[in-house]
């Protein structure tokens, strides 16, 4: 089992501290992770899947290092936009969300993104939301305004600490923001909604009868409710896309930390955008791209996975036809080297002891790159270089049968993380 101490300890860039830090879990070798799942009133695009992929690699690598990972991925299936879409399409909300959920599972399967067997939904976590909102009301962090319930950020010391929000600019005059979500990178400098009191013209038959009254939990409290129900009040790592730095994740901190009086998550990871020909994808620009768009054009799922994980998750990834082809070629070359060294046609040689040094280096190089904030691209480049060297030894008749078995064993363990080397 690889070491997780000393110079090879995993370092993660923590958005909260703005620096790389050694990863130290709260409880021994147990790790709790929450990764923001999709809002399933619509179909996730390729940028969303890049986020899901780096989160998948994170979980797999933690398990590679010997940690027991408890992870929650959620489905947001009840929110303003979903209700509006259902009203316009005259479909039931459940019909819309089930279609999106099925597409999500189809794509995660194709891309070898492992998701938990059970995925909680907003609609199945209302009891958790009701308990949380009730406790925030009792603690003075939240208040009623008509049938709605709002959170006052000024009641929580340290609000905006993840983003680095300048609270001196907070307006003196009270403002309330009633929508679940708002477009763009902006801060709503005012109170945010936790509970939507029922309005027949808006909500139709989508409501719950609760201790808080008839209504539904706002999007801002839904993640907290699912975390609360399935992971508890404290976790090790919270993950998502970079857009979550605006409002969403600081809202979650402000909701969770008053419940325990302690830090909610010790590490925060955020993945950058996928650009399409240098431009951010958006519905308004009409340049949204989905995984099946590329797979239907002949790109293999394994090559797409490689392309989306090889670029460092904290750097924007510019998707162009040229770069996609280059990524596919690099993936094909890497897999070809693996086949030459692990396939049934491997020719045994004398087993030169000097080869052992390169075999051991496969693991050392991989771990060194991955321990540097999940450097998948650097890990793949190092693997390629070592495999080229090993193929050279093989061609000279210096690779023994036991050495070839050792190479295969190492590569299978590495590919439990990468999911790109073997069929």
Kindly report the CATH number assigned to the domain that includes residue 172. Answer: 3.40.50.620
246 and 170 both lie in a single domain:
yes
Banded pLDDT at 183 (limits 50, 70, 90): confident
Average confidence (pLDDT) over 201-214: 96
Predicted TM-score of the model (pTM): 0.95
Question: Looking at residue 346, what DSSP letter applies?
Answer: P
Q: Which pLDDT belongs to residue 285?
A: 77
CB proximity list for 141: less than 8 A, separation 6 or greater: 151, 152, 155, 156, 254, 258
Query: What average pLDDT does the segment 294-317 reach?
Result: 97
Q: How many domains does the chain have?
A: 2
Does 287 reside within a domain?
A: no
**Distant-in-sequence, close-in-space partners of 8: CB < 8 Å, separation ≥ 6:** 2, 367, 368, 371
Given a contact cutoff of 8 angstroms between Cβ atoms, the answer to whether 100 and 40 are in contact is: yes
What's the angle, vertex CA 343, arms to CA 341 and CA 345, rounded to 5?
100
DSSP, residue by residue, 229-276: HHT-S-EEEEEEEGGGGTTHHHHHHHHHHHHHSS-SEEEEEEEPPEEE
User: pLDDT value at position 2?
Assistant: 46
> Do 41 and 100 contact (CB within 8 A), yes or no?
yes
Using CA atoms, how far apart are residues 48 and 171, in angstroms rounded to an integer? 34
Q: 8 falls in which pLDDT band (50, 70, 90)?
A: low
Instruction: Report if residue 306 sits inside a domain.
Output: no
What the block records as the tokens of 408 is 């295969």
So what's the pLDDT on residue 321? 94
Asked, for residue 297, whether it belongs to a domain, the answer is no
Largest CA-CA distance found in the chain, in angstroms, rounded: 82
State the residue range of the domain holding 191. 6-280
pLDDT at 3: 46
Q: Note whether residue 290 is domain-resident.
A: no
pLDDT tens for each residue of 339-388: 999 987 777 788 788 889 999 999 999 999 999 999 999 999 999 999 99
The set of residues, in sequence order, having a beta carbon less than 8 Å from that of 70 and lying 6+ positions away, is: 30, 31, 32, 33, 231
pLDDT-derived band at 6 (thresholds 50, 70, 90) equals: very low
Domain membership of residue 294 (yes or no) is no
Query: Given 260, 280, 300, which residue is the final one in a domain?
Result: 280
């Amino acid at each position: 089992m690889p070491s997780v101490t000393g110079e090879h300890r995993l370092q993660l860039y923590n958005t909260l501290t703005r620096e790389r830090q050694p990863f130290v879990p709260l409880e021994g070798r147990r790790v709790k992770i929450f990764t923001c799942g999709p809002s399933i009133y619509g179909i996730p695009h390729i940028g969303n899947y890049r986020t899901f992929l780096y989160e998948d690699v994170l979980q797999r690598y933690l398990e590679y290092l010997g940690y027991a990972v408890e992870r929650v991925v959620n489905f947001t299936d009840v929110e303003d936009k979903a209700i509006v879409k259902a009203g316009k399409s005259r479909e039931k909300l459940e019909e819309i969300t089930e279609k999106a959920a099925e597409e999500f599972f189809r794509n995660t399967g194709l891309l070898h993104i492992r998701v938990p067997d059970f995925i909680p939904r907003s609609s199945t976590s209302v009891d958790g939301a009701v308990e949380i909102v009730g406790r925030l009301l009792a603690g003075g962090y939240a208040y009623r305004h008509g049938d709605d319930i709002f959170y006052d950020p000024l009641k929580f010391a340290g609000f905006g600490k993840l983003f680095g929000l300048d609270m001196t600019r907070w307006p003196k005059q009270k403002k309330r923001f009633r929508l679940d979500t708002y477009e763009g990178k902006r801060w709503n400098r005012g109170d945010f909604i936790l509970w939507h009191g029922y309005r027949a013209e808006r909500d139709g038959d989508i409501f719950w009868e609760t201790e808080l009254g008839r209504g539904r939990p706002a999007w801002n409290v839904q993640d907290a409710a699912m975390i609360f129900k399935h992971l508890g009040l404290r976790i090790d790592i919270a993950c998502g896309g970079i857009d979550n730095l605006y409002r969403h994740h600081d809202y979650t901190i402000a909701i969770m930390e008053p419940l325990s009086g302690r830090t909610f998550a010790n590490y925060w990871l955020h993945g950058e955008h996928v650009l399409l020909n240098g431009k951010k994808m958006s519905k308004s620009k009409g340049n949204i791209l989905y995984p099946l768009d590329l797979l239907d054009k002949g790109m293999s799922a394994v090559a797409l996975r490689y392309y989306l994980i090889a670029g460092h998750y904290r750097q924007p990834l510019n998707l162009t036809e040229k770069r996609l082809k280059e990524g596919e070629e690099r993936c094909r070359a890497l897999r070809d080297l693996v086949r030459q060294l692990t396939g049934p046609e491997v020719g045994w040689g004398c087993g030169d002891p000097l080869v052992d040094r390169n075999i051991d280096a496969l693991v050392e190089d991989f771990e060194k790159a991955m321990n540097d904030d999940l450097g998948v691209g650097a890990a793949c480049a190092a693997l390629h270089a070592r495999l080229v060297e090993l193929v050279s030894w093989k061609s000279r008749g210096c690779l023994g049968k036991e050495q070839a078995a050792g190479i295969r064993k190492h590569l299978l363990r590495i590919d439990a993380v990468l999911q790109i080397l073997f069929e």
